[in-house]
Amino acid sequence: MNYLRGASAFAVSFVMLSMSAQAQEAAAPAGAAEPAAVTETAAAPAAVPAVAAAPAVAIAAPAPGLMLPSYTEVILTPDAEANSKKLREGHTIPMHTVFDVMHNGVVVIPKGTRGMGTVTWRTGKGAFGKSAKMEVTFNELTLPNGHRLPLAGMHRQEGEGNTGAAVGAAIAVGVFGAFVTGKSAIIPVGQHLMARTNEPLAYVIPAGAVVVPTAQLAPAAGVAVVTPAAVPTPAAAAPKAEAAPAAEPAAMATPTEG
């Protein structure tokens, strides 16, 4: 009886140990898989959204500015006759350009551009043939776009003197030579007055503008242009003499029997 009780207790203990071992084996894979999952998650980097590179924007360098240099010559003429008899210091004289002012083959200041000058000094005509004198200072040009371009320079005009006539009158009639006066200083329309620009002028070449190429300089007057003469070839210099035909050999006489 005791033997049976001991065997039953042993069997129960064995069964419980077997069940505990099976439970541990069933739990072991689940516990071991967890670190593997963690490792796998750590190994795979998180997906980062790709950022497309912005296309490079080509920035064109600004075109070099075109510039009419300062001290460029400008030819003016008055709109109406300027007479020292009517003008005084401080009076203005309207003018306009006579020719186009060109640079880089294009017209920068067109012919007819409005200008202005001022009488800055004047003397009237006097006795004994003394002529009047007048100085005009150039002020500015008003370009077609409204820009005002300062000018530099001055023009001095003198009237035609009558000194010779006054001396002749004084010799002929004495004191009455003092009544011979000179002439007024007059700048007629069409007279060329040279001024110069007083500062550089920026400009652009408009689309469709006619660009005039720089003309080739013509040879100075009196300078002969030497053109290399054609050098004759030896054959042309001395024509080959035709060879005389060779003389035919004389016919040999056949001796005749006597």
- Return the H-helix or E-strand segment holding 39: helix 2-43
pLDDT score at 24? 60
List CB contacts of 130: < 8 A, sequence separation 6 or more: 161, 163, 181, 182
pLDDT score at 160? 80
Q: Tell me if 142 sits within 8 A of 148, measured CB to CB.
A: yes
pLDDT score at 119? 98
- pLDDT tens over the chain, length 258 residues: 555 565 566 666 665 666 665 656 555 554 444 444 444 444 445 554 554 554 544 444 444 579 999 999 999 999 999 999 999 999 999 999 999 999 999 999 999 999 999 999 999 886 556 889 999 999 999 999 999 999 999 999 998 865 444 444 444 444 444 555 778 999 999 999 999 999 999 999 888 888 887 654 445 455 454 444 444 444 444 455 555 555 555 444 444 443
pLDDT score at 210? 83
pLDDT score at 38? 43
Question: Where in the chain are the domains?
Answer: 66-125+133-157+186-201
Three-state SS annotation for 120-183: EEEECCCCCCCCCEEEEEEEEEECCCCCEEEEECEEEEECCCCHHHHHHHHHHHHHHHHHCCCC
The structure's pTM equals 0.55
Architecture of domain 66-125+133-157+186-201: Beta Barrel (2.40)
pLDDT score at 217? 42
Instruction: Say how many residues make up the chain.
Output: 258
pLDDT score at 112? 97
b/e for 82-121, b at 16 or more Cβ within 10 A? bbbeebeeeeebebbbbeebbbeebebbeeebebbbbbee
Check residue 3 and report its DSSP letter: H
